[in-house]
Structure 1
Amino acid sequence: MYTVFLVDDEPFILEGLTMILCGFSTEISILGQAENGEQALNYLRHNPVDLLITDIRMPAMDGIELIRQIKKLSTSTRFIILSGYDDFAYVKEGIHLGIENYLLKPVNIEELEATLENTLEKIREDRKNQYQKTYMKRNFEILRENILYRWMKNTISEDELMERASLIDVNLQCESYQVILLRMWYDNSLKKEADEEVYLICQNYFSEFSNLIWFQDIQGHIVIVFVTRNQSDFLEMNRLEKVLFQIQQKAYELLRVYPLITLGKRVFNYTSVWESYEEAKELQKYRWVFEETWIINKDKVREAERSKGYKQSQVIETNLEQLSNLLIAGDQKGVTNFVEEVFGKITSNSCMSVINIQGVITELILTMEQIACQLQLQNNNIQPSYDIILSCLQEARNLEELKETIKEIAIEMAKQVSAPPSIQSPIVRQVIQYTLDNYTKDLSLKILGDIFNTNSVYLGQLFKKETGQSYVQYFHSLRMQKAKSLLLNSHLKIHEIALQVGYSDVNYFYRVFKKYVGISPSEVRGSCYTTIE
């Protein structure tokens, strides 16, 4: 569709042009009409069109001045001039402004249609060229982001990086490099719009710096590489920190969330940039002990550790058995108070390190998951997921948000437990209890059928009907819960844990674990000390 706007101080001319254009092509859409240039400009300021057909001599603003003003607003609009005067000065000025044609009134319909055909072909070509430019630009951006992200992750060879750096205009011969990460937290439903908003904010502020390499990674985080090419560039870091603070304030103003900003160490070779990136990423976990508006670097962490006397061995007492009893009893008020008490101890204990805070919270969440797993057979609405629970640690913006998330999970569990229980046959309850007591043994429906004098096929059907899952699924899920507890709360080797939960073949244990948990045993073991990328 091609949009057209008509301007003439004679109504019958406007009416005639409308008839000609509508008869010429169904692809033409006349967006509006005006009787003088001033009226037209007021409309076209906010509604650009593909083609403007205008008279020359009109009150308030003539056609030539209107074209001048429109060209300031839009470089893509094309123009056809109509005039009752064969004035060479107007023709000359129109040619200078790049009009498509200067037609005399009364308009020759064939000449107008020929001009329209020629103009629409040019508009089609403009659109095609613009699409190609946009397509090429986006492809280039994707290529650039891919190269830079692989550089940060140290997954690109030195030869390939050297070859591609010139293509994406990245200088690898600088004195030093320092990675800065800017990460946002917001509701997933707003993520796409918020990512775009943050990108535009950064684009606006970073345009004044010539020594920044920056991009937005696949998670929507802003990755910035501050490079120094000479001594004077070092002074730019102070200005950059002020700009980063301004970005924080602007993001909060628009999105009501402060971005977390962390600075990795300065490195002096492009091959070591990944080390600065990893440090900036590692520093994200300190969001729990610094104010939201702080820009965190290693020096600030060391200073805080000295001033507050952080101790790696500092722990707090948490009665996890009490939490288990409260959940099993369905005590919503009790679990709420318990979570509040745990977080109260954390926030009041200024000597706790981030690692110890993560450890306490991981134990708390793991206990909830274990109880949920045991109770899911009594109420199928409780479906624990290790990935979801782990994301609490990774995605919480601060301790207050983490506390509220854990409270919501705990209260929901207590609600489900206190709901009227579903009717469950005695044989299924016996099978569940026997499995809980003997999960390290090789159990099967056939063995259980023999133990309880029941047909194994019937037992399997009844178990799935009443629990919502097959016995094999339940059996392996239970073993995986025990294995995760040992991974996080013991120093046993993985093959020793496999044996303790009933798997003599460690390779088989790995496969089952990955299937039911979604990640490997080694990833679980390190999960409470890592942050999401």
Structure 2
Amino acid sequence: MLKVLFIDDEPIIREGLCSIIDWKEHGYRIIGTAKNGKEGLQYIQKLKPDVVFVDIKMPGLSGIEMVAQAKQMGSSARFVVLSGYSDFTYAQELIRLGIESYLLKPVDEEELIPLIVNLKMKCLIDRKIDTQLGQYEKIKEYQEWKDILHGNMERVEQTLRISYENEPIIMASFDSLLFDDWEIVQYKIDQSDFIETKIITLENQMCILFITDNIDAALTSLKVMKKTITNHVGVEIKAQFIDRTITLNKLPFGFEQLQLLQNYSYCFDDKTIVKESLIKKPVNKYILSEKLASMICRTLEFEDYHQLDLYFTEIQTYYQTNMLKKEKIRADWLDFIKLIISKLKKNHPEISLPANETLVEMIYQSVSLEALLKMTKQELLKLSSTVNGFVCTSGNTIERITQYVEQYHYKDLSLKVIAELFKYNRSYIGKKFKQSTGDYFHVYLDKVRLEKAKELLKIPDMKVYQVSEKVGYSNNDYFYKKFKKYTGVSPKEYQKQQLNKELTV
């Protein structure tokens, strides 16, 4: 329906215009009446009517003056002027202002109806043209934002550059690989009450530009958007966020950062919004070593599932801290799992191993690091049910025991505990151990612990009491005496010596 407004200083005329015909039947909705030109201008500005009937002579602001001011304010309404008498001078002025028609009072129904039918046709044509122009401008602006993100600033018109060159912009994005109906999602977002936002779909990302310098407000809007999308598609969708402002000419670099963050998103679960501030240079050394593979094997053999969880948490933290790309993680992980499995097979030739194709499929189908680690752990636990590290042959008993001591030196170990774990007579296993290693069990255990302590003391921030506890000595004084007897210096002196060596190097 078209919106119609009546402006006249005579109440009887306003009431007559409202009731002279059934306006709804002719496609109009009366949105109000005004008693003078000043009030009429306010209504025009606020209600944005399609058609306005206005008295030519009113106290204060005349009809002609009001129409002129309304036009200056940008009103696109079509005006019909009412007058009690015909005047050629007025008619000339009305033509100059672009008035649609000039009706004499009292208004005649037979004259009014053809006029409003004609006005309706003109308004609908205007709307169609405005819609088409609006769509064209929208598509044109959308393409210009695309060009900006791709670094093609020379294709962008001066109007957009001038409008946004000094505006702070905060960038974000969503992955778009899970579904195709981005238009529906974009419509839902457009209907929400967000800060000024530009949404551009590129490749496999939906790029969000928040025109604001308020990072918290932008992040809040992004979270609401994420929830809207999640509710629509039924699954969590990954999101990336550059938590700083960017200028218009830096948007191509920002878009590259978003693509980088998208690649890093693999390291995090779908609920996490991956922020640019998370990207750091690698700070941890490579941990997927043969030593770690051996330790994981032992947790499986000795059914230490708590320690297995700790190792996997350490691996997840390593990847998240170093922000490695998905392809690198998958390739490294495939090699690492093969290493673990080969070690298990070496110690337990009888076990049945998963095919290489199964491992590859498992790794490359995992949509996130979390899913990858979970599936791997499940696969390893299946294997652990077929191995038992405490079951030995006559030829590998001592090797098994030394592996256990190497792994669990920090526990409350003794020859009695070992004999019970491996189901041997304590006296028998003690003699066998001495024959094989050249040391009594307690002496061998001390050596392992003290060598581990030497490694830990190379860490500058590590306290002596912390080292004592980590290697299995609950009494700090006892550890001090043992260490000094073994190395010739106190733990603190040894730590200082190692620090000086590092500085010299």
Find the structure with the greater CA-based Rg.
Answer: 2
Shorter-chain TM-score above 0.5? no
Scaled to the shorter chain, the TM-score interval is: 0.3 to 0.5
Larger relative contact order, structure 1 or 2 (CA cutoff 8 Å, min sep 6): 1
TM-score (norm 1): 0.42
TM-score (norm 2): 0.44
